[in-house]
Structure 1
Amino acid sequence: MSCSLIQKYNVAGPRYTSYPTVPYWDETSFSLLHWKQSLKRAFDESNQSEGISLYIHLPFCESLCTFCGCHKKVTKRHEMEQPYIQAVLKEWDLYCQLLEEKPIIKEIHLGGGTPTFFSVEHLQQLIQGILLKADIADDYEFSFEGHPNNTTREHLQALYDLGFRRVSYGVQDYNQAVQKAIHRIQPFEHVQQVTQWAREIGYTSISHDLVFGLPFQTLADVLNTIDLTKSLMPDRLAFYSYAHVPWIKGNGQRGFKDQDVPKDDVKRTLYEEGKKQLLAHGYHEIGMDHFALSKDGMYQSFQAGTLHRNFMGYTSSKTQVMIGLGVSSISDSWYSFAQNEKNLDAYYACLENNQIPVVKGHVLSTEDLKIRKHILNLMCTFQTSWSDQAMDFVEREQVIQQLAEMQQDGLVQIQKDHIVITQQGKPFVRNICMAFDLHLKRRKPETQIFSMTI
């Protein structure tokens, strides 16, 4: 990839797990009542035809990983587990009362934090409590994030028995100097053990998360990590760019100096060479930063044009409704977004008052919905079209003008009524989506609020 293109397009920009992005939510026109009405409308439209997704945020971690951008609470007090499980089940009960009709669950994802911080018994209590008030779709997919250092065979077996068939392990990098810098000491043998256990038990999709651009990370480190990963052959991989945002995460990303972090063309080389290695090992590129074997459901979804993206990232299970349970979780009805209280005590207080713990959100306008669809198309299929009048929008010509320079640089092909991202343009998909981001155009941030795109 041209270094000049990297220098030109390496700007701060969103990752587009939503549109509008969270900093551009209009909280003044949002209320809990708006969210309830929006959710009920979407649920009534889609529950019987496609079911719903649940994202359950389990925020506790025993130690702080300095690369992490997730909302978490660092503690070794496992007595916090039971009150939290009870609170999440109370929140689910409030939603079930609102929805009235029995939900059909198509997807459950346990994220964190560290879901495997919780005991087997408490995870069983959580999932059994959720399923007690719901039906399960025929084509359901249940998944969870497992920490290789504390995921036990008992965890894997218990969740498998409850219907989980996909597990994702955070690997990051196997170099000890890098692991020390990010405070995530995790030997290859631990990852090997939990991957083998999952296979023996019967999990059909095992994923590893790798990160490039970490402090002190070299090209040799990335290639070695990928080669070790290949020896375990997970079904899918996320190969994420480390988001260096110490101004947001405070001391959490200050265990090293800015100059210790690979940047610009050096960082991009880590991705490009890593990608070549992954492709040589039989993985296929899926959307942005994801790879999968041909047998995996994500690859098949990408091939079929049904890949979806939401606050959980890429998923092969599209639903219009995604309910986020737990502290800081974000919900999505397609027509609006809603985020829960981030403070644990405030989250508990809402539930004690029988109130769904939503603290902020955004109601999407007609324009928002059109742009959201275009960005979703670009992120999932690398193309979008306005041949359907319903997908046209007032500022389309200005967007096309902005994309003209990207076409000259070989990143996109602009046709009469659609655009296609080229092979060379795929690494710049965030920049291309930014051309459609009308909120970002109208109110550029005065300070840096997003990570760099490259």
Structure 2
Amino acid sequence: MTLPISPELLRKFDVPGPRYTSYPTADRFVEAFGAPDYEQALAQRRDGPAALATPLSLYVHVPFCESLCYYCACNKIITKHHDRAAPYLRYLTREVELHTAVLGTGQPVSQLHLGGGTPTFLSDQELRELLAMLRRNFAVAPGAECSIEIDPRTVTAERLQVLADLGFNRISFGVQDFDPDVQKAVHRVQPHAQVAALMEDARRIGFDSINVDLIYGLPRQTPESFARTLSQVASLRPDRIALYGYAHLPERFKPQRRILSVELPGAGAKVAMLSQALVAFLSAGYVYIGMDHFALPGDALAVAKRQGRLHRNFQGYSTQPDCDLIGLGVSAIGKVGATYSQNAKTMDEYCDDLDQGRLPVARGLALSRDDLARRAVIMALMCQGQVVFESIELAWLLDFRAYFAAEMEQMRELEDKGMVVVDDSGIQVTAQGWFFVRAVAMQFDRYLQADRNRARFSRII
């Protein structure tokens, strides 16, 4: 199978840009938005028609990891002291109780995700206590999507069975790369055989979906070594694959300073690796969901794409309808109504707020009408690959072509490059343009167009 896009086009669109798990993006959050604003958003949900009709999504951040992965840009705490987990669970309970003091108990939940850090840092009993606490306070639906991120080095077949017994039906293995030299360079050694055995156990146990995370652009990676990893991953046949480009930002993320810049592959090698991955996974029968996600045709994500039901939230692409998201734990991000909020990023600040009986919101944003209209356009592009002018005009009472006149000029330029097709009814992302959908969406980002300093973002390729 040949790549449907040229390496030249890949290079042309190798620019920094947001991943649009939200719009406006998290770098636009302000400290002027605090706990009182968030409480007001919770109260409006409680008193509004969505209170029991629209289920919530819950995200719980578990920040602990036993060892440091040098590429990591997540909010984490490196420790081998597992006794730190118990007090953290007590603070999570306090945070949930502050939520239910406003919302009341029994709010319906259709999606639950544990991320980190390493959620499996928690013991089996601690995971049981956490899930029991959440279920006491929220009405987790019987068919809810319950997912958890897993470091393969921290689980066994027995632990996977415990996760299934707790109700987790989707799991994600952090693999990144199978090459031993690359694993040593990023301080994350996990043999292919170990992951393969765990995936076999997970299938036997019966999880609905198994995801594998990969990263290209890591130190010591070459197109030849990455081709071997791609072949190994394809042979494992995960239901979903998330393929991320490594963003080397050592000035922002201290762990990355341990990576030697001279060991990083150049732009040409990164393009070659991305090209290899696209060919390998499409040839293996995977559906390209969007950006850097692939799924087998029968997976719920691929089905949602075919049916036009894809959504996007802070965890990436989702099959769940757009809904309020409550983020729990240090640094967690939430979305309630027309607001975004983020908890304190350090454990001390997070715990201090809760000790004072205050929700640990450190910053956030109340979206304007313009933000909401642009979010609708960007999410339509990112999830459905098209924008229907009439639907935006009816929802936001605006004339699309007049309101987005400057953006429509950009669309004409992208149309000349084969990225989109524009007609009287709307904008359609082409098959080629779908590989660069972030670049298309960026044209409607008012903040990004006003601020050309994009170094804060990862590159599209």
Offset, 1:231 = 2.5
Offset, 1:260 = 2.5
Show the counterpart of 1:277: 280
Offset, 1:19 = 0.5
CA contact (8 A) 2:245 2:459 kept: no
CA contact (8 A) 2:171 2:210 kept: yes
Show the counterpart of 1:318: 321
Offset, 1:339 = 0.2
Offset, 1:342 = 0.6
Query: 2:352 is paired with a residue of what secondary structure?
Result: helix
* Cα separation, 2, equivalents of 1:39 and 1:264: 45
Query: 2:443 is paired with a residue of what secondary structure?
Result: helix
Show the counterpart of 1:340: 343
Aligned to 1:354, which of 354, 357, 360?
Answer: 357
* Cα separation, 2, equivalents of 1:54 and 1:127: 12
Offset, 1:6 = 3.6
* Cα separation, 2, equivalents of 1:34 and 1:107: 24
* Cα separation, 2, equivalents of 1:94 and 1:440: 35
CA contact (8 A) 1:6 1:264 kept: no
Structure 1: any 5+ residue segments left out of the alignment?
Answer: none
Show the counterpart of 2:433: 425
- Return the TM-score normalized by structure 2: 0.94
Offset, 1:26 = 4.2
CA contact (8 A) 1:53 1:319 kept: no
Aligned to 1:234, which of 233, 238, 248?
Answer: 238
Offset, 1:237 = 1.0
1:128 aligned to 2:132?
Answer: yes
Query: 1:164 is paired with a residue of what secondary structure?
Result: coil
* Cα separation, 2, equivalents of 1:287 and 1:312: 14
What letter is aligned with 1:438?
Answer: R
Show the counterpart of 1:185: 189
**Deviation by residue 1:250-283 (Cα, 9 ceiling, x = unmatched):** 2x11223334323434312211221111112121
1:36 aligned to 2:44?
Answer: no
1:403 aligned to 2:406?
Answer: no
**Deviation by residue 1:201-225 (Cα, 9 ceiling, x = unmatched):** 2212111111112122122222211
Alignment coverage as a number of residue pairs: 451
What letter is aligned with 1:180?
Answer: K
Offset, 1:47 = 4.1
Aligned to 2:369, which of 366, 369, 373?
Answer: 366
Show the counterpart of 1:158: 162
CA contact (8 A) 1:46 1:320 kept: no
**Deviation by residue 1:3-25 (Cα, 9 ceiling, x = unmatched):** 44344332221111111112223
Deviates more, 1:224-233 or 1:292-301: 224-233
CA contact (8 A) 1:120 1:154 kept: no
Query: 2:169 is paired with a residue of what secondary structure?
Result: strand
Offset, 1:294 = 1.8
* Cα separation, 1, equivalents of 2:407 and 2:268: 27
* Cα separation, 2, equivalents of 1:27 and 1:444: 23
* Cα separation, 1, equivalents of 2:381 and 2:456: 22
**Deviation by residue 1:232-264 (Cα, 9 ceiling, x = unmatched):** 2111111111122222102x1122333432343
Aligned to 2:457, which of 447, 450, 453?
Answer: 450
Offset, 1:290 = 0.8
Instruction: Report sequence identity in percent.
Output: 39
Offset, 1:153 = 2.7
Query: After superposition, where does 1:104-143 map in structure 2 within 5 Å?
Result: 104-143=108-147
* Cα separation, 2, equivalents of 1:400 and 1:265: 32
Deviates more, 1:430-439 or 1:43-52: 43-52
1:73 aligned to 2:80?
Answer: no
Offset, 1:84 = 0.6
* Cα separation, 1, equivalents of 2:268 and 2:6: 8
Show the counterpart of 1:206: 210
Query: Quick one: structure 1 residues 40 and 269, their matched pair in 2 at CA, closer, same or farther if it must change by over 3 Å?
Result: farther
Query: 1:108 is paired with a residue of what secondary structure?
Result: strand
1:223 aligned to 2:227?
Answer: yes
- Return the TM-score normalized by structure 1: 0.95
* Cα separation, 2, equivalents of 1:4 and 1:201: 44
CA contact (8 A) 1:60 1:113 kept: yes
Offset, 1:115 = 0.7
* Cα separation, 1, equivalents of 2:45 and 2:386: 26
